[in-house]
Amino acid sequence: MKALIIGSGGREHAIFYKIQQELGENNVLITPGNGGTAKYAIKSDLNNFEQIKKIVLENNIDLIICGPEQPLANGIADYFNNDTSLNKKIFIGPTQQAAKLESSKTFAKKFMQKYQIPTANFANFNHTQFEEANIFLNSLTAPYVIKASGLAAGKGVVITNDINEARETISQFFYQNALGEAGKEIVIEEFIDGIEMSAFIATNGKDYVLLPEAKDYKKIGEGDTGLNTGGMGSVSPTNLLNEPLKDKIISKIIHPTLFGLQDMKISFNGFIFFGIIIKNNEPYLLEYNVRLGDPETQVVIPRFKTSFTELCLSIKNENLNKYKIETNQLYHCCITLASKGYPNNYEKNKIIEIKNEKIDSFIFHGGTQLDSHGNIVTSGGRVLYIVGYGDSLRAAQLMAYNDIKKIHFDGIYYRKDIGDDLLNLKNNF
Ligand code: GLY
């Protein structure tokens, strides 16, 4: 069997690494990949499905796993389903209609409301409704949560205590094109003060396998301060999930989601990410993603003892019920190494040096590429993901932070507190 991973981030590198272990080095390709996967990468534009088709057919690919949301939102799964030379291939990722759970926050919130999935109260507005949005804002108390309805690469959520900043954000989304089309519609929602967790399932829209949970750290600054990013670190397992809470997540969130998909006759082949906030031991759903999380995948994949390839095949073959996931109980802690300036403007093409001493952590690449001299250089905001592991979260953290000392590029930035909140957590949240 030959597989192709679609994407260029750390999530895709982690999936690539695991599938390569399972299928053999020469049976897995990636497009467009990055500096860490360059040997097996084929250049492409992810939204040019003709190019992806050519790669699949020329390389006799059987299994295709789509990592990022944008091609899914643009209909890559539909393209595969509708093309007679591709529709026998095993494509993992949902259709455009199902991808609306992520590509339209308005659709997602209405879906949650319709199927009584616990979530923050909300209202949605389009760019002709600035006044109405303001009236709704006035009815709320701070903090104010403004979300762009469309895909915004982690930059679509603003939480502020200042109502003027909230108004200004809406004005920027509606009138100053801050996020393009993604911001022309917004959701304003009630703020829930709790602790966030990420849950994942692999599903065919009916049956599902629950994957290990994780926590990610979205803010650029220590203590969860500053701008939102694509993710500055992650941890799995967390000490957030006890059995009663897990049961509630399953019965109040996962089951109604699958019921809703069936009720609305929306087919789903792939992974659903549930962004959950826990308050007073009750889970609330903040958002859906229709793919695995980044950087959560970087800590979830190394925990798999069972085959990830088999999991993907089970989605397609409708035998997820028979897949018994086994995971190791080691703690994994991922630290994102970012370019100076990220998530705003940052410089690229900084040479990455990884000292020759032994590194114990997993290293997954994100924004890296090979330059014309064969050096690995920075090419994005989130550059590398260093994943330490051990019998305790502390041991996993220590491994990652110790290994980071052996890595250098100009302007390297990372948070020093990934996982600290979980170490300090009291039982009540
Ligand atoms: N970690 C959140 C995301 O993948 O969007």
Burial string for 124-161 (b: 16+ CB within 10 Å, else e) reads bbeeebbeebbebbeebeeebbbbbbbbbeebbbbbbe
Closest CA to 32 of 44, 47, 50: 44
Which residue's entry shows tokens 């629950």? 210
Establish whether residue 12 lines the binding site of ligand 1, counting it when its CB lies within 6 angstroms of any ligand atom. Answer: no
Domains and CATH numbers, the chain: 3-93 (3.40.50.20), 121-190 (3.30.1490.20), 195-322 (3.30.470.20), 331-423 (3.90.600.10)
CB 293 less than 6 A from any atom of ligand 1: yes
DSSP codes, 198-243 = EEEEEESSSSEEEPPPBEE--EEETTTEEEE-S-SEEEES-S---H
- Residue 427 is predicted with a pLDDT of 52
CA distance 347 to 243: 46
Residue 174, H or E segment = helix 163-175
How many Cβ atoms from other residues are within 10 Å of residue 354's Cβ? 14
Spans of the chain below 50 pLDDT: 428
Residue nearest ligand 1's atom 2 by CA:
293
3-state SS assignment for residue 188:
strand
156 lines ligand 1 (CB under 6 A): no
Residues 247, 69: Cα–Cα separation, whole Å: 28
Cβ(415)–Cβ(222) below 8 Å: yes
3-state secondary structure of 157: strand
Confidence (pLDDT) at 425 = 81
Q: First-to-last CA distance in the chain?
A: 46
Q: Which amino acid is at 305?
A: K
Q: What is the pTM of this model?
A: 0.96
Beta bridge partners of 384: 337, 365
Q: Could you tell which of 102, 273, 288 is best to mutate to test the pocket of ligand 1, judged by most ligand atoms within 8 Å of the CB?
A: 273
C-beta of 102 in contact with ligand 1 (< 6 A) = no
Ligand 1 neighbourhood includes 366 CB (under 6 angstroms): no
Torsion over CA: 234, 308, 241, 398 (sign) = negative
Counting beta carbons within 10 angstroms of the beta carbon of residue 326, is it exposed (0 to 12), middle (13 to 18) or buried (19 or more)? Answer: exposed
* Residue 231 near ligand 1, beta carbon < 6 Å: yes
pLDDT given for residue 426 in this prediction:
63
Predicted local distance difference test score (pLDDT) of residue 428:
47
Q: pLDDT tens for residues 287-317?
A: 999 999 999 999 999 999 999 999 999 999 9
Closest residue CA from atom 5 of ligand 1: 293
Pairing of strands 195-203, 208-210: antiparallel
Closest by alpha carbon to 49, among 73, 68, 75, 29? 75
Query: What is the rounded distance in angstroms from the CA atom of residue 106 to the CA atom of residue 198?
Result: 20
Q: Is 68 in the pocket of ligand 1 (CB under 6 A)?
A: no
- 115 CA to centre of ligand 1 in angstroms: 24
DSSP H stretches of helix in 323-408: 393-404
287 lines ligand 1 (CB under 6 A): no
67 lines ligand 1 (CB under 6 A): no
Supply the pLDDT for residue 55: 98
Ligand 1 nearest atom to the CA of residue 296, by list position:
1
Q: Is 294 in the pocket of ligand 1 (CB under 6 A)?
A: yes
